[in-house]
Amino acid sequence: MAKLSVHNIVKSYPGEGTTTVRVLDGVSLEIEEGEFVSLVGPSGAGKTTLLKIIAGLLPPDSGEVLIDGEVVGLGHSRVGYIFQQESLFPWLTVRGNIAFGLEIRGVPRDGVQRRTDEMIALIGMRGLEDHYPHEISGGQARKTEMARSLVTRPDILVADEALSNLDAQTRNYLQDEILRIWKDTGATVLFVTHNVDEAVYTSDRIMVLSNIPARIIAEFGVDIPRPRTRTSPECLEYRSKILDILRVEQEKAMQRIGA
Ligand SMILES: Nc1ncnc2c1ncn2[C@@H]1O[C@H](COP(=O)(O)OP(=O)(O)OP(=O)(O)O)[C@@H](O)[C@H]1O
Ligand SMILES: [Mg+2]
């Protein structure tokens, strides 16, 4: 468990010719130890960019990322990352994929075996550990990716659209799995999703990002005990408030491009 602080992150990418495009415009946030926070925002707003900066995969132009009050830089390894695109190694089995992060860290063989077995059990994939990624379902692949990110016991897990491109039933099931794994591991979670219902169902708190250049424009503490009912009036009320904010953002973007 760890506390994550992001202070005033600014990031631009090269644009056409000599121009630059500012993507993150001073983003700040705090996530408490063991908290489950979702980040929702328009497509192209800079969510993946922000997660990469938090995980030490991309440098910000300015601003700082702190874990438990200490500044972390490029290449730090305290964050587990579930990538937006499927990223399992096709030449490794489920077991091989989960074990990979331990092996590159030089964990002794019996430790690798034990911790990999624990993760396989935790995600309910016993009996499938020798399958290759093309021999498992999309939902099982997402769970394997989750296990791969968690096996190194990161204090903080960032998940980028971890459950997109799945049918509704699998998605609902995996939301419950994520909550169960979160409780079991006690990790601090930053969960990026386009799906507002998913954010309301899972999160302690939801942050809403504006269009680029992105800033956090709203924040909601979701004060509903778990397990939640997706269609309860309380959940639907949060949903409609957040969708209203996103609708206004979309209208602004349309006006900007003259649509
Ligand atoms: N390496 C890069 N070089 C230049 N521009 C980039 C690069 N990566 C992303 N961008 C641009 O930065 C903006 C933010 O991208 P990012 O991937 O962070 O958005 P996102 O919020 O994750 O979007 P989505 O919801 O579609 O995944 C986009 O306009 C994108 O085109
Ligand atoms: Mg993205």
Q: Which of 213, 92, 207, 223 is nearest to 147 (CA)?
A: 92
Going from the Cα of 50 to the center of ligand 1, the distance in angstroms, rounded, reads 10
Q: What is the pLDDT of residues 123-146, one digit of tens each?
A: 889 999 999 999 999 989 999 998
Residue 43 CA to residue 86 CA, distance in Å, equals 18
pLDDT at 259: 65
Q: What is the pLDDT of residues 82-135, one digit of tens each?
A: 988 888 999 999 999 999 999 999 999 999 999 999 999 988 899 999 999 999
Sheet order of strands, 20-31 included:
20-31, 4-14, 62-67, 70-72
Query: Has residue 165 got a pLDDT over 90?
Result: no
Query: Has residue 225 got a pLDDT over 70?
Result: yes
pLDDT at 131: 98
Q: Angle, nearest 10°, between helix axes 138-150 and 168-185? A: 20
55 lines ligand 1 (CB under 6 A): no
pLDDT tier for residue 55 given thresholds of 50, 70 and 90: very high
pTM for this entry = 0.93
Work out the average pLDDT over 144-160. Answer: 91
51 lines ligand 1 (CB under 6 A): no
pLDDT at 117: 96
Best of 21, 48, 82, 211 for a ligand 1 pocket test (most atoms within 8 Å of beta carbon): 48
Return the residue whose CA atom lies nearest to atom 9 of ligand 1: 49
20 lines ligand 1 (CB under 6 A): no
The DSSP string of 119-157 is HHHHTT-TT-TT--GGGS-HHHHHHHHHHHHHTT--SEE
Q: What is the pLDDT of residues 23-47, one digit of tens each?
A: 999 999 999 999 999 999 999 999 9
Work out the average pLDDT over 231-250. Answer: 96
Asked if 252 contacts 41 with a C-beta cutoff of 8 angstroms, the reply is: no
15 lines ligand 1 (CB under 6 A): no
